Amino acid sequence: MKILVTGCSGLLGSKLTPLLARRGYNVVGIYNVHRPSYSADGVKLVKLDITNTVALEDLVLKEKPDVIIHAAAYTDVDGCERDKNRAWRINVEATKSLVRTARVVKSYIIYISTDYIFDGSKGDYIEGDTPCPINYYGLTKLIGEELVRGSDLLHTIVRPSAIYGLGGSKKSFAEYIVEKLMRNECVKALTDQYVSPTYNGLLAKAIAEIVELRPMGVLHIAGPRMNRYEFALKIAKALDLPLELVKEASMKEMTHWIACRPRDSSLDTSKAKQLLKTRFYDVDLAVDLFKKEWLSRRGEPCP
């Protein structure tokens, strides 16, 4: 079976792409600026800017993948607010092209969406709750969802929240916390923004299960609800780092933010828990895996 993964160089894609290859799939991974450094036998890497929709459509028509996992996005929330044209071309137009060509070659599509399609006024959102994005990133991702949902394709829409882990070209919040604390620097973390931190390794495993099961519709795949301060403490504790350097902050101090952020975009994951074997919701397992990965990257023995 052939799987096309967009965003194979991102925080999620850098875990998902080699995992699918290890499971014996024939994988084509699209990156744009950052060529992945993971060793991935069985992965054909293609450098392609997905805003070049002619090239993107040509590739899909040539490769004829059985499955498309669309994980590429312009994920910089403030960047999307600043450059709406870029956000639209990457998050909406490229999705439109993928849907169009997936219909021609009859692929099953997994669209990676986000908790930011919700306004954050409620929290613990279930799949059927009404989306109401409060920033441009969330709006473009919701339109992407609607393009997929409105097609006649066999599809699954996966919504994670606050992805963390190692891999990709950007530092995730967890990596930033660890690096600052290791330098004995303070980290400010929000006590009034609630998310469902999702470890990229477990998210990738859950998506690999979805490839096999092909459930139609929306699935929330995320960790448990917590504020960013609680999450920072969890990471610090797991890695034996000084907890007193984690300082409380509130959203109103974030004066440099351009885009509004939801106050509580946490996700209810009951539906996916019933369907999947992967323990994507188990924060202790996730943090332990993150810790082992961090130590092995530094060449330290894992306890």
Ligand X SMILES: NC(=O)c1ccc[n+]([C@@H]2O[C@H](COP(=O)([O-])OP(=O)(O)OC[C@H]3O[C@@H](n4cnc5c(N)ncnc54)[C@H](OP(=O)(O)O)[C@@H]3O)[C@@H](O)[C@H]2O)c1
Can residue 73 be called a binding residue for ligand X (CB under 6 A)? yes
Binding ligand X by CB under 6 A: which of 77, 90, 109, 202?
A: 90
Residue 269 touching ligand X (CB under 6 A):
no
Least distance between ligand X and beta carbon 73 (Å): 4
Give me the residue whose beta carbon is nearest to ligand X: 10
Nearer to ligand X, 34 or 84 (CB): 34
Total length of the chain: 303
Residue window 136-175: x/- pattern of binding to ligand X, with contact defined by CB under 6 A: -----x------------------xxxx----xxx-----
Give the phi and the psi of residue 6 in degrees, each rounded to 5. Answer: -90, 150
Closest CB to ligand X among 91 and 107? 91
Q: CB-based burial of residue 74 (10 Å sphere; 0-12 exposed, 13-18 middle, 19+ buried)? A: buried
Catalytic residues, by residue number, are: 137
Angstrom CA distances, 302 to 241, 283, 291, 292, stand at 16, 19, 8, 6
For the CB of residue 194, give the shortest distance to ligand X in the complex, in Å. 14
Taking the CA atoms of residue 283, residue 285, residue 286 and residue 292 in that order, the dihedral angle to the nearest 10 degrees is 140
Q: Which residues contact 279 (CB under 8 A, 6 or more apart)?
A: 202, 285
Interaction of residue 191 with ligand X, rule CB under 6 A: no
**Closest separation in Å from C-beta 126 to ligand X:** 17
CB atoms within 10 A of CB 288: 15
The verdict on 55 binding ligand X (CB under 6 A) reads no
Three-state SS string across 55-87, please? HHHHHHHHHCCCEEEECCCCCCHHHHHHCHHHH
Site for ligand X, rule CB under 6 A: 7, 9-13, 30-34, 49-51, 71-75, 90, 112, 114-115, 141, 160-163, 168-170
